[in-house]
């Protein structure tokens, strides 16, 4: 099958093949080309997809779907990188390793931007369907109705997060308002007003309005917003490409066996820490954050033994892999570990810390790349 | 008068090949010649183009049959080979030597090749004509020119690899014991032995894939200062018995491999083009791994190994997937590669095709159960023999054979299933053995003197 590449791209392909083999192997030119085509397609679909206010309920599904499609689109490229990896293992130098990792981060980051672009366009279109004034007008009744049904059904299980004027119980009026808001903000099949579902409906309406307010960038009610979904997306589009790029790069530098062993050890550590975290034992945060940091330090010590290696060592390989895979997360781990006041447990500060920490971590990783690659080369070259 | 220069020797070899109607090999050697001695891209490219044209013409002949037009084209190609030789031998423009008068018509007056293959007698042969003309008009000047331009090829005195008492033990019990081995540029070493004798293990140790458990291993030519495996392994090409799959178009893999070995731009293209044509792979350059046979996969592996410009070539059972014709071509190519005047390469290859390997190898290393049974040139094997050994195939049974050969003082007859290995005293020649058998009216379907072959070392070994 011939790829629909333009003549200019084919010329570039040839030039890179002969002169810049690493760029050619990464197929950066193809990937940019197909990324652009895919982005145009995604944007077109997002522009023609019918949206209503209720579409906010489907935004997560849209995000996941397009994310999955982006993953499918990029999987042949990942496969190609894995196939070509053995050719590079003994040849490439530190500078090449840097470009490889930067290229992987770039390509993977670009492709996970598809769902973000798709959802952003949808959000923009949803936000234009209702004015801020109208939204603000609906917000108070929605919250009050939700609280009313919450009090009645849940016996005050939920603490209101927003100070509201003390008014008379809504009674019959609540049901009428709920019906009116349902018609406006919920799809028809969610408008179940029977007594068991009224609280759920009210909460859903509140959530929809909150989301629309967020989309519109209204800050007045920020205090009551649940940003978890929003940051989940941000987490996905940052962590997934970084993690995938790292795994790919480590595979390229080492071998499947060593990487698999590292991943098994990592997964086992993850499970143990998750169980510990859920168990309610003391020092949970210190354990959950501290153990990976200790693993990082331990693997760093193993890596420093590199000059003494004369044979290919499984322990050294796993240590080097662990060190490389944990490196970008260490600034964040360190800050979280040092946070005795619990300052960063707040979701907003926590997310900001995570983003800044991760950015510093990626820069550190790129800076360390030539050194890591030198160690990997020695590891690969040494006889078993 | 024989000229000692490798360049002149090679040119003479090419002319001789043309005389012998072997244009395929002549073009291959022409590629070697232009690459090693011309130093000019245009001339090498002319040789590459010519090689491609010859292959195309040969395909046409195979497909559509011979014809006068095609014979004429073959003749024209032969002329062009000679023209290229002349071009390389001609003095450069700024050469202070007196200019040879241009002889543009000299080769054109040579009659065309009358048939395919060329008849043994008939009209004057192209090369003979050219040689005669050269000998009459330019011989003395050629001598002077080559004396100045010749790059005297001196094989590096340093060995590429030296192993002393090399040992490797597996947990399963197998031990590769005390191997002494030296690989020098320009030499081919054949590694033979029964299955499980440790050939692949030894090759992997030499290639730096497996660590030895004892002994000394050094790569003086590759890394004079100790064992820097990154440096050493980047200069070793190890072609495995089962080559890993290639992804994508084959020629792209070669360009990539060359680029990864720091050959970029035009140099990269030239190198790959040369290797593809030199190994006769240009037809399949656009193919993918699954579309070519195991034999071509092995040849492409060799091509990939060579575009990396290694300093040591290690091949594990490369002949296994090749047909009998291709084996000859492959081994001849290896011989040419090893003999390269500009870049003589040490080669070690393991194989079960002992006769074919012995034909091109400078020395043989025979292993059995991890131990060296014989190491050295085959002449040594012959000189040190205690008996003469012959391999023969006959429909008669061993008893009958023994009865007939008893008069010759036969020492032993071993039946290996298909053949007999007959050992007789050193004074009993092959002719005597055959005479004896023919007199007794015993049919002999196959007969070979294996006195100077490692084949006789297989006697009583293996399963």
- For every residue of B106-156, DSSP letters joined together read TTTTSPPP-SSSPPSSSSPPHHHHHHHHHHHHTHHHHHHHHHHH-------
B183 and B64 in one domain? no
Query: Can you tell me whether residue B39 is helix, strand or coil?
Result: coil
CB-closest option in B230, B247, B259 to A18: B259
Within-domain flag for A99 = no
Within-domain flag for A95 = no
Separation of alpha carbons A212 and A210, rounded Å: 5
A376 and A337 in one domain? yes
Query: Can you tell me whether residue B176 is helix, strand or coil?
Result: strand
Categorize the per-residue pLDDT at A233 as very low, low, confident or very high, splitting at 50, 70 and 90. Answer: low
CB contact under 8 A, B211 and A311: yes
CB-closest option in B209, B234, B259 to A17: B259
B440 and B335 in one domain? no
**pLDDT at position B324:** 87
Chain A environment of B234 (Cβ under 8 Å)? 90-91
Under 8 Å between Cβ of A62 and A118: yes
CB contact under 8 A, A383 and B264: no
Under 8 Å between Cβ of B253 and B304: yes
Q: Tell me which of A171, A204, A224 is where a domain ends.
A: A224
Where is average pLDDT lowest: A24-33, A136-145, B228-237, B241-250?
A136-145
**pLDDT at position B173:** 82
B133 and B262 in one domain? no
DSSP-assigned letter for residue B101:
P
Separation of alpha carbons A252 and A231, rounded Å: 31
Distances (CA, A) of A260 to A266, A292, A321, B83: 10, 18, 10, 60
CB-closest option in B234, B255, B256 to A90: B234
Pick from A54, A309, A68: nearest CA to A181: A54
Pick from B79, B83, B88, B81: nearest CA to B110: B79
Chain B environment of A383 (Cβ under 8 Å)? 205, 208-212, 229
Under 8 Å between Cβ of A347 and A228: yes
What is the nearest CA distance from A239 to chain B, expressed in angstroms?
30
The sheet with strand B420-424 has its strands ordered as: B412-415, B420-424, B388-393, B446-449
Residue of B nearest to A83 (CA): B247
Please list the pLDDT of chain B residue by residue as tens digits (463 residues): 344 477 888 888 888 888 888 888 888 888 888 888 887 888 888 888 888 888 888 888 888 888 888 888 888 888 888 888 888 877 655 544 444 444 333 333 333 333 334 334 434 444 444 444 444 444 344 444 444 443 444 455 688 999 999 999 988 888 888 899 999 999 999 999 988 889 999 999 999 989 888 889 999 999 888 888 888 988 999 999 888 889 989 999 999 999 988 888 988 999 999 999 989 898 899 999 999 998 899 999 999 999 988 999 999 999 988 888 888 888 989 999 898 877 889 999 999 888 888 888 999 999 998 889 888 888 887 788 888 889 999 998 888 888 888 888 888 888 888 889 998 998 889 999 999 999 888 999 999 888 878 887 887 776 5
Residue B213 sits at φ, ψ, to 5 deg, of -100, -5
**pLDDT at position A152:** 55
Residue of A nearest to B267 (CA): A18
Residue A7 sits at φ, ψ, to 5 deg, of -60, -40
B278 and B221 in one domain? yes
Q: What angle do CA B67, B71, B73 make, to 5 degrees?
A: 115
Distances (CA, A) of A259 to A45, A253, A376, B342: 39, 10, 12, 43
Within-domain flag for B238 = yes
What is the nearest CA distance from B209 to chain A, expressed in angstroms?
5
Within-domain flag for B339 = yes
pLDDT tens-place string over residues A93-114:
667 788 888 899 999 888 888 9
A290 and A218 in one domain? no
Separation of alpha carbons B345 and B335, rounded Å: 10
CB contact under 8 A, B244 and A20: no
**To probe the interface with A, which of B229, B233, B238, B266 has the most A CB atoms within 10 Å?**
B229
B396 and B375 in one domain? no
Residue of A nearest to B304 (CA): A87
A383 and A258 in one domain? yes
Residue A295 sits at φ, ψ, to 5 deg, of -60, -40
B248 and B326 in one domain? yes
Residue A106 sits at φ, ψ, to 5 deg, of -65, -50
Separation of alpha carbons B442 and B105, rounded Å: 61
Chain B environment of A384 (Cβ under 8 Å)? 209-211
What is the nearest CA distance from B43 to chain A, expressed in angstroms?
22
B237 and B323 in one domain? yes
CB contact under 8 A, A384 and B259: no
Is 0.95 exceeded by the ipTM?
no
CB pairs under 8 A between A and B: 61
Separation of alpha carbons B354 and A242, rounded Å: 54
**pLDDT at position A311:** 67
Within-domain flag for B166 = no
What is the nearest CA distance from B305 to chain A, expressed in angstroms?
12
**To probe the interface with A, which of B169, B204, B230, B246 has the most A CB atoms within 10 Å?**
B230
Kindly tell me if the per-residue pLDDT of A62 is higher than 60. yes
Chain B environment of A19 (Cβ under 8 Å)? 259, 264-265, 268
First to last CA, chain A: 40
CB contact under 8 A, B230 and A90: yes
**Between A265 and A127, where is the model more confident?**
A265
What is the nearest CA distance from A295 to chain B, expressed in angstroms?
28
CB contact under 8 A, B260 and A21: yes
3-class DSSP string for B363-406: EEEEEECCEEEEEECHHHHHHCCCCEEEEEECCCCHHHHHHHHH
**Between A349 and B25, where is the model more confident?**
B25
Categorize the per-residue pLDDT at A161 as very low, low, confident or very high, splitting at 50, 70 and 90. Answer: very low
What is the nearest CA distance from A319 to chain B, expressed in angstroms?
20
Within-domain flag for A57 = no
- Residues of B at the A interface, defined by Cβ within 8 angstroms: 205, 208-212, 227, 229-230, 232-234, 244, 247, 252, 255-257, 259-261, 264-265, 268-269
**pLDDT at position A197:** 66
Chain A environment of B252 (Cβ under 8 Å)? 17
Q: Tell me which of B349, B379, B409 is where a domain ends.
A: B379
CB-closest option in B230, B257, B264 to A19: B264
Share of chain A above pLDDT 90, in %: 17
What is the nearest CA distance from B290 to chain A, expressed in angstroms?
15
B374 and B236 in one domain? yes
Within-domain flag for B163 = no
- Residues of A at the B interface, defined by Cβ within 8 angstroms: 17-21, 24-25, 80, 83-84, 86-88, 90-92, 310-312, 377-378, 381-384
Q: Which residues pair with B169 in a beta bridge?
A: B175
Kindly tell me if the per-residue pLDDT of A263 is higher than 80. yes
CB contact under 8 A, B259 and A24: yes
CB-closest option in B211, B234, B269 to A384: B211
For residue A54, give both structure tokens.
């209720």
For residue A238, give both structure tokens.
């940052």
CB contact under 8 A, B259 and A88: no
What is the nearest CA distance from A114 to chain B, expressed in angstroms?
28
Chain A environment of B226 (Cβ under 8 Å)? none
What is the nearest CA distance from B201 to chain A, expressed in angstroms?
12
pLDDT tens-place string over residues A351-380:
777 888 888 999 999 998 888 888 888 887
Within-domain flag for A214 = yes
**pLDDT at position A369:** 87
Chain B environment of A87 (Cβ under 8 Å)? 256-257, 260
Chain A environment of B211 (Cβ under 8 Å)? 310-312, 382-384
A379 and A274 in one domain? yes
A286 and A180 in one domain? no
A331 and A269 in one domain? yes
B197 and B119 in one domain? no
**pLDDT at position B94:** 54
Q: Tell me which of A224, A240, A273 is where a domain ends.
A: A224
**pLDDT at position B192:** 92
Within-domain flag for B125 = yes
Q: Tell me which of B98, B129, B149 is where a domain ends.
A: B149
B139 and B47 in one domain? yes
State how many domains chain B has.
3
Kindly tell me if the per-residue pLDDT of A142 is higher than 80. no
State how many domains chain A has.
2
B296 and B352 in one domain? yes
Within-domain flag for B160 = no
Residues 6+ away with beta carbon under 8 Å from A160: A143, A147
Separation of alpha carbons B137 and B185, rounded Å: 38
Separation of alpha carbons A328 and A246, rounded Å: 9
A349 and A278 in one domain? yes
A293 and A185 in one domain? no
DSSP-assigned letter for residue A91:
T
Q: Tell me which of B379, B397, B432 is where a domain ends.
A: B379
Mean pLDDT to the nearest integer, A175-192 = 70
**pLDDT at position B63:** 83
Range of the domain at A197: 132-224
Separation of alpha carbons B178 and B83, rounded Å: 53
Within-domain flag for B189 = yes
Alpha-carbon radius of gyration of chain B: 25
Under 8 Å between Cβ of B354 and B453: yes
Categorize the per-residue pLDDT at A251 as very low, low, confident or very high, splitting at 50, 70 and 90. Answer: confident
Within-domain flag for B263 = yes
CATH of the domain at B206: 3.40.50.300
Q: Which residues pair with A110 in a beta bridge?
A: none
CB-closest option in B205, B230, B260 to A377: B230
Range of the domain at B454: 384-458
Distances (CA, A) of A50 to A42, A62, A66, A124, A209: 14, 13, 16, 13, 19
CATH of the domain at B454: 3.30.70.980
B444 and B342 in one domain? no
A305 and A266 in one domain? yes
Q: For the whole model, what pTM was predicted? A: 0.78
A374 and A292 in one domain? yes
CB-closest option in A25, A310, A377 to B256: A25
């Amino acid at each position: 099958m011939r790829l629909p590449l333009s003549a200019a791209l084919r010329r570039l392909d040839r030039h890179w093949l002969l002169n810049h083999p690493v760029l050619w192997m990464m197929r950066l030119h193809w990937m940019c080309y197909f990324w652009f085509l895919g982005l145009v397609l995604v944007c077109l679909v997002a522009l023609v997809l019918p949206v209503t206010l209720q579409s906010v309920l489907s935004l997560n599904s849209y995000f996941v779907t397009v994310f999955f499609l982006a993953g499918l689109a990029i999987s042949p490229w990942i496969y190609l990188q894995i196939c070509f990896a053995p050719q590079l293992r003994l040849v490439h130098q530190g500078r090449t390793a840097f470009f490889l990792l930067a290229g992987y981060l770039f390509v993977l980051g670009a492709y996970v931007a598809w769902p973000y672009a798709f959802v952003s366009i949808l959000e923009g279109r949803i936000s234009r369907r209702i004015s801020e004034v109208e939204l603000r007008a609906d917000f108070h009744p929605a919250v009050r109705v939700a609280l009313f049904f919450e009090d009645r059904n849940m016996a005050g299980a939920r603490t209101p997060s927003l100070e509201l004027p003390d008014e008379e119980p809504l009674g019959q009026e609540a049901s009428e308002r709920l019906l009116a808001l349902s018609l406006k903000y919920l799809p028809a099949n969610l408008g179940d007003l029977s007594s068991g579902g009224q609280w759920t409906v009210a909460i859903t309406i509140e959530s929809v309005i909150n989301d629309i307010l967020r989309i519109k960038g209204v800050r007045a009610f920020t205090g009551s917003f649940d940003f978890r979904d929003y940051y989940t997306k941000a987490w996905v589009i940052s962590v997934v490409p970084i993690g995938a790029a790292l795994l790919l790069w480590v595979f390229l530098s080492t071998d499947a066996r060593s990487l698999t062993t590292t991943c098994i050890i990592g997964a086992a550590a993850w499970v143990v820490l998750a169980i510990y975290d859920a168990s309610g034992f003391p020092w949970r945060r210190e354990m959950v954050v501290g153990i990976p940091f200790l693993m990082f330090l331990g693997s760093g010590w193993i890596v420093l033994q590199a000059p003494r290696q004369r044979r290919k060592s499984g322990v050294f390989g796993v240590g080097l892999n662990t060190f490389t895979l944990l490196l970008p997360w260490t600034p964040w781990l360190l800050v979280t570990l040092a946070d005795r006041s619990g300052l960063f447990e707040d979701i907003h500060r926590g997310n900001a810390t995570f983003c800044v920490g991760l950015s510093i971590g990626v820069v550190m990783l790129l800076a360390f790349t030539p050194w890591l690659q030198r160690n990997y080369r020695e590891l690969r070259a040494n006889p078993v | 008068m024989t000229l000692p220069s490798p360049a002149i020797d090679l040119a003479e070899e090419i002319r001789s090949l043309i005389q012998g109607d072997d244009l395929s090999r002549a073009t291959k050697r022409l590629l070697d010649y232009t690459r090693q001695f011309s130093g000019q891209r245009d001339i090498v490219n002319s040789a590459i183009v010519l090689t491609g044209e010859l292959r195309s013409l040969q395909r046409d002949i195979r497909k559509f049959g011979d014809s006068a037009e095609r014979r004429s084209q073959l003749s024209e190609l032969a002329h062009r080979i000679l023209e290229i030789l002349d071009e390389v031998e001609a003095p450069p423009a700024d050469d202070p030597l007196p200019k040879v008068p241009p002889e543009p018509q000299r080769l054109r007056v040579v009659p065309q090749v009358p048939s395919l293959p060329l008849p043994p007698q008939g009209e004057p042969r192209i090369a003979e004509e050219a040689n005669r003309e050269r000998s009459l008009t330019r011989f003395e000047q050629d001598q002077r020119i080559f004396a100045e331009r010749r790059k005297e090829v001196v094989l590096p005195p340093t060995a590429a690899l030296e192993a002393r008492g090399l040992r490797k033990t597996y947990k399963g019990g197998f031990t590769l014991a005390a191997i002494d081995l030296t690989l020098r540029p320009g030499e081919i070493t054949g590694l033979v032995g029964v299955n499980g004798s440790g050939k692949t293990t030894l090759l992997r140790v030499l290639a730096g894939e497996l660590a030895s458990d004892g002994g000394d291993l050094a790569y003086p030519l590759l890394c004079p200062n100790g064992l820097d495996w990154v440096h050493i392994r980047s200069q070793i090409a190890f072609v495995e018995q089962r080559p890993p799959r290639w992804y994508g178009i084959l020629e792209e893999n070669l360009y990539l491999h060359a680029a990864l070995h720091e050959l970029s731009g035009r140099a990269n293209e030239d190198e790959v083009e040369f290797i593809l044509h030199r190994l006769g792979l240009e037809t399949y350059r656009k193919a993918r791994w699954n579309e070519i046979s195991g034999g071509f996969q092995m040849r492409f592996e060799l091509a990939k190994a060579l575009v990396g410009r290694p300093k040591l070539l290690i091949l594990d059972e490369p002949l296994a997937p090749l047909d009998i014709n291709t084996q000859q071509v492959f081994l001849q190519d290896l011989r040419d590669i090893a003999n390269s005047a500009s870049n003589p390469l040490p080669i070690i290859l393991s194989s079960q095709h002992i006769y074919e390997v012995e034909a091109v190898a400078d020395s043989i290393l025979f292993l059995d159960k991890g131990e060296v049974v014989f190491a050295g040139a085959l002449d040594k094997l012959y000189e040190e023999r205690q008996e003469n050994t012959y391999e023969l195939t006959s429909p008669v049974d061993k008893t009958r054979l023994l009865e007939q050969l008893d008069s010759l003082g036969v020492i032993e007859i071993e039946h290996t299933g298909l053949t007999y290995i007959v050992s007789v005293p050193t004074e009993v020649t092959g002719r005597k053995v055959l005479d004896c058998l023919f007199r007794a009216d015993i049919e002999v379907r196959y007969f070979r003197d294996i006195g100077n072959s490692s084949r006789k070392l297989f006697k009583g070994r293996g399963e």
